[in-house]
Amino acid sequence: MQITNRPTRFLPLLLLTACLTCLAVPHAWADGGGAANGGGAGGDADGAAAAAVATAAVAAQLQHAIAAQGGGRLPARDVRLFAEVLQQVRENYVSPVDDHALMQAAIRGMVESLDAHSTFMSGDEYQDMQVTTSGAYAGIGVEVMPGHKGVVVVRRMPDSPAEHAGIRAGDVIVRIDGAAVDPGNVDAAIQRMRGPQGSLIRLAVQRTGATAPLQFAVRRAEVRLVSVEGELLTPQYGYLRITSFTDSTADELEAVVQRLEQAAPRRLAGFVLDLRNNPGGVLDSAVRVADDFLDRGTIVSARGREEEANFRVSATPGDISHGARLVVVVNGGSASAAEIVAAALHDNHRAELIGRRTYGKGTVQTIMPMAYGTALKLTTSRYYTPAGISINGVGIQPDVLLTGSEKPPADMDVVQDDPQVTAALTVLRSATLAAVR
C-alpha cells in the first residue's frame, strides 16, 4: 500500500463503541429554614466564606495544571463554575464521594460529550482494548451483543471452551454464575465471563426451541483471538469470514486463502467475503485486507484538523486471489474498518455487496496513551470512501438488498446452510456480475 501523509504519532483505530446516555435529574429541595442548613446567618456566612476559598483553590489548581501542559488559560468563569460545582458535590452530596472518582467522571463526561465514539479509558479498559486488537485472554471464547433478556452469542471462537461445551451462535446468555445478565451492559457480561484459566463459570442459556434455559458449566481457558475463518463452499468457490480487524488479520486472511486454494481441485473462481457483525478494529489491518484484493486505486482517505490526521492510502499490485470474483456480505453490524474494506472493494469495481445497509461509522479514533496507564480514544479524522463519500451516520447500501428476518451468521460447520451465504453464492456464480467486469 502507498500512504500519503500517514499519521505516525499515535495508533489509529476504528472501533465501534456503544452510545452512552447521560440522565439529568432535577434538583430536590427540602423546605427548611436557614438554621437547619448551617445554624443561622453567622453559620451561613462562615460556610460561604470557606466554600469560596475552597472553590478559588480548586480553580487555581486547574488553571495551573492546564498551563503545565502548555495549554492556554481556560475561561475564568467556566473554571470557577466547575470548581464551585465540584466543591458543592464534595461537601453536600448525600454520601461521601471520592475525589478521584469525581475527577475521573468529569474527564469521561467531557470526552464522551463530543461524539458517540470518543471516550476516556481507565487502565483496565485500555488493557481490554489492547487485548481486542491483539493477543489472547482467559475466558470462554464467545462474542456477544445485546439481546432481549441477556446477551446474544454472535460467534464462538474455534476450539474454545464455549465450542467444546456446546454453546451455539444465537444462544442468549441470561445468567452468569446465578446472577442475571443486564442486556444493556454488555461490557459487564464480558468481564464476568473472563477470569483465571481453569476457573469454572456456570451459564444459563436460552435457546430457540428449548422450553427452559439450558445449563452449562464451562471451564475458562486461554482464548486466542482468531479473526479470520474460511471453508470451501464448493470445489470452485471459497468462503471467508472476518469478524474483526486485529493486528494479525491480514496475515490470517492470507493463510486461509492459501489453505483453501490448496484444498481446491483447481484455482478458485470466487470468494464470498462475510463482514456481517464485524465492528471494526485497527485501521492498518483493514487497509492491508483491502490491498490484498486490489492491484490499484484508492483504499481510503481521511481529513482532520492536524496534518497527521490527513492521509490517503492507495493499493499496490498483488492480489492474493489472482483476480477471483468477490461478493461481500454486510449488515447493520458491519461498521468502521469493515465498511472501509467493503467500500474500497466496491468503489474500485472489485466486488459486489449483498445484505443490509451497514452501520455508518465514518470517523477515525486515535488512541493516545495518558498518565497512570489510562488512554484517550479521540475522534481525529473523518474518512472518505474511494468515491469521496462520507458514510458517517448513513452507512453503505448494498447492491443486492436482502429483506426479511435476519439470523446471526451460522457456525462454520454449517455455513452452507446460512441463507445469506447461499444468496451471495448465487450472485457469485452469475456470469453477469457487474462489479468484476
Q: Catalytic residue numbers?
A: 336, 347, 361
Of 115, 76, 77, 113, residue with least CA distance to 365: 115
Spell out the residues 6+ positions from residue 364 whose beta carbon is closer than 8 angstroms to its own. 12, 13, 14, 283, 302, 304, 309, 379, 380, 381, 382, 383
Residue 400 host element (H or E)? strand 400-401
Q: How far is CA 361 from the centre of its chain?
A: 10
Spell out the residues 6+ positions from residue 348 whose beta carbon is closer than 8 angstroms to its own. 294, 296, 297, 298, 315, 386
- CA distances in angstroms from 396 to 241, 283, 385, listed in the order given: 19, 18, 10
The vertex-409 CA angle with 148 and 384, nearest 5°, equals: 95
Of 186, 350, 345, 371, residue with least CA distance to 275: 345
Cα distance between residue 274 and residue 206, in whole Å: 26
Cell of 127: 488493557
Cα distance between residue 178 and residue 37, in whole Å: 45
Helices 76-92, 41-68: axis angle to 10 degrees equals 130
Cα distance between residue 177 and residue 142, in whole Å: 16
Alpha-helical regions (H) of 194-325: 249-263, 283-292
Place of cell 473523518: 382
